[in-house]
Amino acid sequence: MIALLRGRVAWIEADAAVVDVNGVGYRVHCPTRVLERLGSGQQVELRTEMISREDGIFLYGFLDAAELAWFRVLRNVQGVGARLALSLLSTLSPDDLQTAVAARDHARLARAPGIGPRLARRIVSELEARIGTLPAAASAAAPAAVGAAAGPVADAVAALVHLGYGRSEAWSAVARARRRLAEAGEGEPSVDRLVREALKELAP
């Protein structure tokens, strides 16, 4: 099992990077978000997942542990293979994926090529109960699912969505507002208070 590659980027392909490790070139399939950060001649260290199929052995590479962990999590969802997991990670960062699942934002997941509304709902359905254990970047706090939060939180998110904000955007703003109010020592805020404070978070 090849778990790590450290070498020089020989060239970039449409969906992969060829990494020269001591004269041996490894083709590593990567999310677009990763490929955009690589360039020919660049020294790179990739965390990799090796998958053996009937048509060959394939390497998938990621720049950090959260990307690799999400790749593994997504592949365990029924109907999501390596190609679709890469599509999701090309469209959304690990933190964006975590927020979309927590907010039950099927539409945001469905923006990834190949991910239709039905599959997006399945991803949320299978992962939302595990949101506190799903991988995120080290700088991000793990959110709680909206459904697990108090009623005012879900109602405040719904109110912001009705005002035209995206579900993930609304959820993040409400979560930040609720956390800020809790740090200030306030009790459980009302829906109106959460909406007012979340609108401040959303202000440019």
Instruction: Tell me the pLDDT of the chain (204 aa) as tens digits.
Output: 899 999 999 999 999 999 999 999 999 999 999 999 999 999 999 999 999 988 899 999 999 999 999 999 999 999 999 999 999 999 999 989 988 998 889 999 999 999 999 999 999 999 987 776 777 654 444 444 444 444 788 888 888 888 888 888 888 888 888 888 888 777 778 888 888 888 888 886
The gap from C-alpha 65 to its chain's centroid, in whole angstroms, comes to 12
Q: CA 135, 136, 139 angle in degrees (round to 5)?
A: 145
Q: Which residues of 28-40 are buried (b: 16+ CB within 10 A; e: fewer)?
A: bbbbebbbeebee
Q: Residue 80: which domain range?
A: 65-133
Domain end, chosen from 133, 166, 190, is at 133
Task: Identify whether the C-beta of residue 49 lies closer than 8 Å to the C-beta of residue 86.
Answer: no
Global confidence as pTM: 0.76
Q: Rounded to whole angstroms, what are the CA distances from 41 to 4, 17, 164?
A: 18, 11, 45
Q: Is residue 142 part of a domain?
A: no
Asked if 202 contacts 168 with a C-beta cutoff of 8 angstroms, the reply is no
Does a structural domain hold residue 39?
A: yes
Residues 144, 128 contacting (CB under 8 angstroms): no
The CATH number linked to 177 is 1.10.8
In a domain, 139, yes or no: no
The answer to whether residues 18 and 75 belong to one domain is no
Instruction: Please check whether residues 86 and 28 belong to one and the same domain.
Output: no
**What is residue 196's DSSP assignment?**
H
The whole-number pLDDT of residue 141 equals 42
Dist CA 22 CA 32 (whole Å): 25
124 with 71, same domain: the answer is: yes
* Strand 56-62 relative to strand 24-29, pairing: parallel
Burial classification of residue 12, based on how many CB atoms lie within 10 Å of its CB (0-12 exposed, 13-18 middle, 19 or more buried): middle
Q: How many structural domains does the chain have?
A: 3
15 CB-near residues (< 8 Å, 6+ apart): 29, 30, 32, 35, 86
Q: How many residues does the chain have?
A: 204
Domain-embedded: residue 73:
yes
Comparing CA positions, the residue from 33, 168, 144 lying closest to residue 92 is 33
Same domain, 83 and 57: no
